[in-house]
Amino acid sequence: MSLRGTTAVVGIGETEVGNVPHMSCTQLYVQSIRKAVDDAGIQLSEVDGLITGNSRFEPYLYHAEMIAEYLGIRPKFCSTVTTGGSTSNSVLQVAAAMIQAGICKNVVIAKADNLLSGAGRAATIESMATIGHPQFESPYGPLIPALYALLYRRYMHEAGVTAEQIAHVPVVNRYHASLNPAAQYRELITVDTVLNSRLIADPLHLLECAPISDAGGAIVLTSAAHARDLPRKPVYLLGIGESHMFEHVSQAPTLGRTGAVESGKAAFAMAGVKHSDIDVAMIYDAFSFIMPMQLEDLGFFARGEAAGAIAAGKTRIDGDLPVNTHGGLLSHSHAGRPSGLLMIAEAVKQLRGGLGARQKQGAKTTIVHGEGGILASHCTAIFSTEV
């Protein structure tokens, strides 16, 4: 039984991002949910499904149930899920299946964290040392950027791309962020600025690594039939696919390809659309090289060609395939788990229209790709205003 076109996103909610010291993680959750519910034109009491991801620094044993308690609602279904950056896409399948089965009518997916003001840079960076394999990685002290740098170096070797080409990724993202008043970083940068920024883990520079942020996001998913009765233009989930190749880098079968190959194929097959049908792409970019690598693995470019296309301006808002029009994780914000939902929110906004200078005119179909861990878990979702 296909999920194609059976459900639609009818509400989105976002908090301010960056440094938000006046709000706890729970408050970020609640604000984003309330905004999404209001945007959908329903009441909180009509939410009968709730999916969250536990806060890294304000955790609860039963997080989704705690948020429901805080909101004063009693949903039929509560779940706390995390597969890193791919979680927001991944749980779309769960929510859509619950709706299609008739168990839930309106499912809210929400993620929030206050990594910057609640934890601070030092504590967040320290926590990065705990992600590696307890026997084969963690004892040697690699942080997350160092593990990603291994894949970056392999990608450069296999695809023949250069650091100068990859440096265009944060430059383009920052240009898009400059058009978005909600982005954390909006000052324009150049390739030289990127390559002259501090080296974090060779070959990754500071401006090639996503910032630490506070942020919250939420979406409301409902059936296609119910969506037509609500005030917002429905944005239908056409296709979705997942791939989980490994958990730890030392156990990866290859460092040169990612699970985006499999997740992308599955999403396109379910959606029944072609790559040429995609108007806007949202690609998880916690580090610069991830964008071109995954654009290739998803099939938009041949091996080694995406970086040159980005350098040539093809992923700018006025290019052939605008990517990360809100500024991406590299410039809009990166608070961990909320980042994927904020990508979905931007995709929905592009399909609704009215974004001014960062609007892709006539956009009908978007793709959102998330990855979690060290390029370990992948999920690809395709949305459209047409079924």
- In angstroms, rounded to a whole number, what is the distance separating the alpha carbons of residues 153 and 346? 30
Peptide bond into 203 cis (omega under 30): yes
Average pLDDT over residues 359-378: 95
Q: Is 121 exposed, middle or buried (0-12, 13-18, 19+ CB in 10 A)?
A: exposed
Residue 89's nearest CA partner among 285, 291, 324, 378 is: 378
Q: What is the pTM of this model?
A: 0.96
The answer as to CATH 3.40.47.10 being correct for domain 141-211+240-384 is: yes
- In angstroms, rounded to a whole number, what is the distance separating the alpha carbons of residues 110 and 221? 11
Give CA torsion, residues 180, 166, 89, 130, to 10 deg.
-110
200 φ, ψ (degrees, to nearest 5): -100, -50
Average pLDDT over residues 340-363: 97
Q: What is the mean pLDDT of the chain?
A: 94
Cβ within 8 Å of residue 64, ≥6 positions away? 50, 51, 52, 78, 79, 80
Q: DSSP for 237-289, please give it.
A: EEEEEEEE--SSGGG-S-SS--THHHHHHHHHHHHT--GGG--EEEE--SBTT
User: Which of these ranges, 108-112, 124-128, 303-307, 380-384, has the smallest mean pLDDT?
Assistant: 124-128
Binning pLDDT at 50, 70 and 90, where does residue 63 land?
A: very high
- Please report the pLDDT score of residue 127 as a whole number: 65
- Please report the pLDDT score of residue 54 as a whole number: 85
Binning pLDDT at 50, 70 and 90, where does residue 132 land?
A: confident
Largest CA distance in the chain: 56
- In angstroms, rounded to a whole number, what is the distance separating the alpha carbons of residues 155 and 368? 22
Average pLDDT over residues 194-200: 97
DSSP 212: P
For residue 356, the one-letter residue type is G
- The answer on pLDDT for 85 being more than 90 is no
The dotted CATH code for 7-118+213-235 is: 3.40.47.10
**Which residues make up the CATH 3.40.47.10 domain(s) of the chain?**
7-118+213-235, 141-211+240-384
User: Which of these ranges, 44-58, 198-212, 225-239, 260-274, has the smallest mean pLDDT?
Assistant: 44-58
107 φ, ψ (degrees, to nearest 5): -110, 130
- The answer on pLDDT for 58 being more than 90 is no
